[in-house]
Amino acid sequence: MKTLEEQLTQYALYHRSKRNIRTHFVGIPLIVFAVICLFARVVLSLGGIELNGACVAVALSLLYYLRLSLPLSLMMSVVLSVMIMAALPIAALPLLGWLGFSLSAFFLGWVIQFIGHYFEGRKPAFVDDLAGLIIGPLFVLAEVLFLLGWFRKLEKHIEQHAGPIKP
């Protein structure tokens, strides 16, 4: 398995335009929230315990993030838990309301992503490596933390290997 630095650097190679990264600040959370809304309506029964699909998907994602970084996985657990709580009322809507909201948010998120990649002049990272789909949310979190002045060593590593962010 690749390290956190390797995963984020690989993803960053496709994201060196400031405009593209900014679109990801909106597009990726929207896509993740939409997926959580969709999965929140799915109920799984495991040994008499009922779980919604969003909890299972988030738990699996967090296990992966935990293998990469304890601090980032803890931060992602807070973000994703808030998204689950916000998704529950949406999942409780009548079928058309739930599906309409979730699919609209999903579609809008991808449109925003592709606009960002138009600015970048590069295809999305997941086209070459499906791991980009799970690394994207972690990349957005890391970029927010870099803006706050945190994780400077990680930021410098990424810039050394992927290049600086262009205006």
pTM of the model: 0.94
Domain assignments of the chain as residue spans, ordered by start: 4-162
Span 8-28, average pLDDT = 95
Span 29-37, average pLDDT = 98
Confidence of residue 132 (pLDDT cuts 50, 70, 90): confident
- Give the contacts of 11 (CB within 8 A, at least 6 positions apart): 125, 132, 135, 136, 139
Residues 137-155: tens digit of each pLDDT: 999 999 999 999 999 999 9
Tokens linked to 20: 């593209």
